[in-house]
C-alpha cells in the first residue's frame, strides 16, 4: 500500500513537472517563431529597393578588358567571355526595382498602348509581396529577370548569400509566373564602362548559376527624378545603333518615369525604332523557359514566409502601439486619481468626524513564523488604539505559539489549531474576536503605534466594509529589496488610490486590512477557494455592496523575499490566486451597483494591465530588439527613453505622495529591464498553469528575521 501511495505521488509530481516543461517549451517555441518571422522580415526589407548605379571612379582592376568596351548583354557562363547588343534601330527597354503596386501597372498600361514590350528586372522580395504583378508582367508578353532578392550589392556579399539571393528570387518568380528567369541585372550597375569590381563579381556569381547579365547603354537616371524632359533626352539613342535603356518601375515615386515613357515611346516610333524585351532585341530563344515544379513549390513557400513575416510585423507594430497607449493611459489615469485621492485625504478631518474610538480585534494567522512573530506582536500590542490581539497558530512546528505566550503581553492571546491553512486560521480568529471592527495582519508584518487607529477611521462611514492600509517593504536593502520597494510604492499603492477613487478595490492585502465583522459574516468569512484569499474576500465584499477604501496613513512594514526563488514563489502564488479570484467573481462584469463597478472597472483593469499586457510583453521586447537591429535604432532608443521618462516621473510622483526619499529610483531603469521581465514570466506561468487546470499548492515564503529592526 505504501509503495502504491509513493508511486502515485511520483506520478503526480512527474505530471506537474511535465506540464511546467510544456508551457515553457511552448513559450520558447512562440518566441522562436516570432524571432524567425522578424528575422525574415528584417532581412527582406533591410535593403528595400533602393535605386542607384555604380560609381564610374570605383575600383575596376578585376574587370576583364573586354567588358568596359563591350556590349551590354554579357554571357560569362562559357570559357570565353561573350557579349551582345540589340540590332540597329532596336531598343531593349528595361525596368528595375519592381514590381510596385502603384507604378508597375501604369508602366504596363503605357507599353500596351504603344504595342511595346520590355524586360522587368524584379526584386524578389517585391515579387513575394506582389506575385500578381509579376504574373501580369509575363502575361502581357514581357520578360522578367532577376535583380536579387533584397536589392543587395551582390558583388560584396559572401558566396552563400549570392547563391541564396539568386535562388530565392528565381523561385518566387517561378511561383508567381510559372516561368524561369534567364536574365540578371546587378543592383547599382549601369553601362559597361561603369562596371566596378563589385559589379563584375556579381556578374560572375550569376554566371556560375547560369544567368546572363544585362547592363545598359542609356541610363535615364530617372531614380533621381530629374524631370520628364531630362528622362526622355537621356533615354533617346543619339544614333541608329541598338540600345538597352534603363528605367525603374519601383523604389520610389515613378510618376516622372511613367510620363517620360509615353513621350519616349512616341519619339522612338517616329524615328522607326523597334522597342522590345532583351530576349527579342538580341535574338535569344526561350528567354523565359517553364519553371520546374520544385522551384514553384519552393517559391510559394518563400512567398508564404515573407507574407507571414509581414503580417507578424504588422501585428506586432499595432501591439506595440497599443501597449504604449495602454501604459500612457495608465500613467495619466493613476496620476489623476492619485491627485484626487490625495486632495480628499488632506481635507481635515478626513474620516474622523466623529473619530472611531471603539476597540478593535487584531487577528494574526501564524504558521512557523518564529523569525518575525515577536516583532510583529510587540508592534501591534504597542498600538495607541484600544485593541485585542488574537494570534492563531495554525499547527506551527517551530514553537511560534510558545514564543508568543512567553512574551506575556497584555491583550494578547494565542489560539492553537491543527494545520488547516491561512483562511481557516483567519476564520478561527474572526469567531474568537470580541469586537465589530477587525484588523487582519500577516505574521511577517509590523505596525507603527498609530497604524490601527488610522486604519479604522474610515469605518465612520457605515457603507465602508473594508479598508486597505499602506504596505511598506521593511528589508529594502540590496537591489532586489529596492526593486520591490519601488514596486510597492509605484505599483501597488498608486493602483489602490485609483481603485479607491473608482470604487472598485479588488484587494485588501493580507499584510494590513480592516474589516467589519458584520460584513465578513454576510459573505461567509474568508474563503479557501483560491490561493489569494485576501483578493477573493475583497471581491466578495465589493459584490455584496460594501465600499472598500484605501487609508494611506495606516502603514505596515512587511518582509519581502530576499532571493529570486522566494520572490518567484510568492508572486506565482499571488498571480495564480488573483486569476482564480477573477474567474470566481467574473459574473460581477454583468452585475449592477458596486458589483458592476468591481467587474467592469476593477476586473477590467486587472485583465488588461496584469494579464494581457504581461502576456504580450516578451513578444514586444523581441520586436524592440528587431527594431534595434533592422529599423532605426535611434528611433527605438528615443521611444524607450520616452517610456522610461514616463516611468521615472510617475515613480517620483508616487514617492512624493508616500513621503519616501527618491534615492532608490536610480535603479528604476534596471528594474524595467530585469525585474519587469521576471514579473512577466510569473504571469505567463500562472496563466499557463490556470489553463492547464493544475492545482497550485501553497508556497510559504522564507522568513529572515529582518522585522525586529523595523519594529
**Contact predicate 700/366, CB 8 Å:** no
The span from the CA of 205 to the CA of 408, in Å, is 91
**Contact predicate 130/102, CB 8 Å:** no
SS (H, E, C) 605-652: HHHHHHHHHHHHHHHHHHHHHHHHHHCCHHHHHHHHHHHHHHHHHHHH
Cell numbers found for residue 571: 508572486
Residue among 333, 307, 308, 327 at smallest CA distance from 616: 327
Give catalytic residues, as residue numbers.
96, 248
The span from the CA of 443 to the CA of 398, in Å, is 14
The span from the CA of 649 to the CA of 655, in Å, is 10
SS3 content of the chain, % helix, strand, coil (to 5): 55, 15, 30
Neighbours of 269 (CB within 10 A): 14
Q: What is the DSSP string of 511-537?
A: TSEEEEHHHHHHTTSS--SSS-HHHHH
3-state DSSP call for residue 269? Answer: helix
Peptide bond just before 349 cis, omega within 30 deg: yes
Residue among 25, 145, 49 at smallest CA distance from 97: 49
The DSSP bridge pattern shows strands 119-122 and 90-98 to be parallel
CA of 490: how far to CAs of 327, 335, 498, 502, 657, in Å?
14, 10, 12, 18, 10
Give the distance, in angstroms, between the CA of residue 632 and the centroid of all CA atoms in the same chain. Answer: 18
Hey, CA dihedral for 610, 611, 615, 620, is it positive or negative?
negative
The span from the CA of 573 to the CA of 236, in Å, is 77
Rg (Cα) of the chain, in Å, rounded?
A: 37
**Contact predicate 427/390, CB 8 Å:** no
User: 243: part of which helix (H) or strand (E)?
Assistant: strand 243-248
The span from the CA of 445 to the CA of 93, in Å, is 83
Buried-exposed string 343-370: b where 16+ CB fall within 10 A, e elsewhere: eebeeeeebeeeebeeebbbbbbbbbbb
3-state DSSP call for residue 13? Answer: helix
395-403: long-range pairs with CB below 8 Å, 24+: 395/367, 395/419, 395/420, 396/366, 396/367, 396/368, 396/369, 396/370, 397/368, 398/368, 398/369, 398/370, 399/370, 400/366, 400/367, 400/368, 400/369, 400/370, 400/373, 400/443, 401/366, 403/370, 403/373, 403/374
The span from the CA of 502 to the CA of 492, in Å, is 15
Reported residue count of the chain is 711
Neighbours of 633 (CB within 10 A): 11
Which residue carries 568596359 as its cell? Answer: 68
Contacts of 370 (CB under 8 A, 6+ apart): 396, 398, 399, 400, 403, 703
Amino acid at each position: 500500500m505504501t509503495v502504491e501511495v509513493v508511486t502515485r505521488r511520483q506520478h503526480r509530481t512527474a505530471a506537474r513537472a511535465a506540464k511546467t516543461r510544456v508551457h515553457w517549451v511552448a513559450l520558447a517555441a512562440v518566441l522562436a517563431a516570432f524571432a524567425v518571422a522578424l528575422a525574415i522580415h528584417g532581412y527582406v526589407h533591410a535593403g528595400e529597393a533602393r535605386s542607384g548605379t555604380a560609381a564610374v571612379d570605383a575600383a575596376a582592376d578585376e574587370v576583364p578588358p573586354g567588358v568596359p568596351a563591350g556590349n551590354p548583354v554579357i554571357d560569362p557562363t562559357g570559357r570565353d567571355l561573350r557579349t551582345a547588343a540589340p540590332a540597329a534601330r532596336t531598343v531593349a527597354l528595361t525596368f528595375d526595382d519592381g514590381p510596385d503596386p502603384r507604378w508597375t501597372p501604369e508602366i504596363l498600361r503605357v507599353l500596351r498602348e504603344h504595342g511595346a514590350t520590355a524586360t522587368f528586372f524584379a526584386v524578389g522580395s517585391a515579387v513575394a509581396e506582389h506575385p500578381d504583378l509579376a504574373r501580369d508582367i509575363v502575361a502581357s508578353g514581357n520578360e522578367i529577370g532577376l535583380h536579387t532578392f533584397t536589392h543587395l550589392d551582390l558583388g560584396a556579399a559572401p558566396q552563400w548569400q549570392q547563391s541564396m539571393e539568386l535562388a530565392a528570387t528565381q523561385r518566387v518568380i517561378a511561383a508567381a509566373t510559372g516561368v524561369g528567369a534567364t536574365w540578371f541585372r546587378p543592383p547599382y550597375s549601369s553601362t559597361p564602362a561603369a562596371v566596378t569590381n563589385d559589379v563584375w563579381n556579381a556578374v560572375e556569381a550569376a554566371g556560375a548559376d547560369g544567368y546572363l547579365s544585362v547592363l545598359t547603354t542609356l541610363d535615364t537616371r530617372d531614380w533621381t527624378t530629374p524631370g520628364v524632359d531630362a528622362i526622355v533626352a537621356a533615354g533617346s539613342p543619339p544614333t541608329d545603333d541598338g540600345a538597352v535603356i534603363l528605367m525603374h518601375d519601383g523604389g520610389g515615386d515613378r510618376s516622372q518615369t511613367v510620363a517620360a515613357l509615353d513621350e519616349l515611346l512616341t519619339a522612338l516610333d517616329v524615328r522607326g525604332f523597334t522597342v522590345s524585351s532583351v530576349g527579342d532585341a538580341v535574338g535569344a530563344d526561350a528567354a523565359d523557359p517553364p519553371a520546374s515544379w520544385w522551384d514553384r513549390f519552393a517559391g510559394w513557400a518563400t512567398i508564404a514566409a515573407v507574407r507571414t513575416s509581414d503580417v507578424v510585423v504588422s501585428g506586432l507594430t499595432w501591439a506595440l502601439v497599443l501597449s504604449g497607449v495602454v501604459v500612457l493611459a495608465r500613467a495619466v489615469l493613476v496620476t489623476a486619481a492619485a491627485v484626487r485621492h490625495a486632495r480628499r485625504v488632506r481635507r481635515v478631518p478626513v474620516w474622523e468626524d466623529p473619530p472611531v474610538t471603539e476597540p478593535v480585534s487584531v487577528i494574526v494567522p501564524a504558521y512557523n513564523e518564529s523569525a518575525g512573530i515577536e516583532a510583529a506582536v510587540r508592534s501591534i500590542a504597542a498600538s495607541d488604539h484600544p485593541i485585542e490581539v488574537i494570534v492563531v497558530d495554525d499547527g506551527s512546528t517551530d514553537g511560534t505559539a510558545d514564543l508568543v505566550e512567553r512574551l506575556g503581553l497584555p491583550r494578547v492571546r494565542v489560539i492553537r489549531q491543527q494545520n488547516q491553512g491561512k483562511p481557516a486560521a483567519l476564520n478561527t480568529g474572526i469567531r474568537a474576536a470580541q469586537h465589530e471592527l477587525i484588523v487582519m495582519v500577516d505574521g511577517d508584518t509590523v505596525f507603527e503605534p498609530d497604524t490601527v487607529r488610522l486604519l479604522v477611521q474610515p469605518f465612520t462611514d457605515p457603507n465602508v466594509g473594508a479598508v486597505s492600509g499602506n504596505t511598506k517593504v521593511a528589508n529594502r536593502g540590496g537591489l532586489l529589496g529596492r526593486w520591490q520597494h519601488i514596486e510597492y510604492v509605484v505599483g501597488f499603492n498608486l493602483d489602490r488610490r485609483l481603485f479607491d477613487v473608482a470604487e472598485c478595490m479588488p484587494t485588501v492585502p493580507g499584510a494590513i486590512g480592516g474589516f467589519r465583522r458584520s460584513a465578513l459574516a454576510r459573505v461567509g468569512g474568508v474563503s479557501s477557494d483560491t490561493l489569494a484569499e485576501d483578493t477573493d474576500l475583497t471581491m466578495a465584499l465589493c459584490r455584496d455592496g460594501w465600499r472598500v477604501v484605501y487609508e494611506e496613513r495606516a502603514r505596515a512594514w512587511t518582509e519581502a523575499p530576499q532571493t529570486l526563488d522566494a520572490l518567484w514563489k510568492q508572486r506565482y502564488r499571488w498571480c495564480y490566486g488573483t486569476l482564480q479570484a477573477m474567474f470566481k467573481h467574473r459574473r460581477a462584469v454583468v452585475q449592477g451597483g458596486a458589483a458592476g463597478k468591481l467587474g467592469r472597472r476593477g476586473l477590467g483593469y486587472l485583465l488588461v494591465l496584469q494579464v494581457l499586457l504581461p502576456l504580450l510583453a516578451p513578444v514586444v521586447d523581441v520586436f524592440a530588439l528587431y527594431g534595434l537591429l533592422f529599423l532605426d535604432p535611434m528611433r527605438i532608443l528615443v521611444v524607450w527613453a520616452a517610456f522610461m521618462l514616463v516611468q521615472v516621473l510617475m515613480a517620483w510622483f508616487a514617492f512624493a505622495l508616500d513621503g519616501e526619499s527618491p534615492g532608490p529610483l536610480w535603479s528604476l531603469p534596471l528594474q524595467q529591464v530585469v525585474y519587469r521581465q521576471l514579473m512577466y514570466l510569473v504571469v505567463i506561468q500562472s496563466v499557463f498553469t490556470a489553463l492547464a487546470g493544475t492545482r497550485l499548492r501553497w508556497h510559504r515564503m522564507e522568513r529572515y528575521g529582518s522585522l525586529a529592526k523595523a519594529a
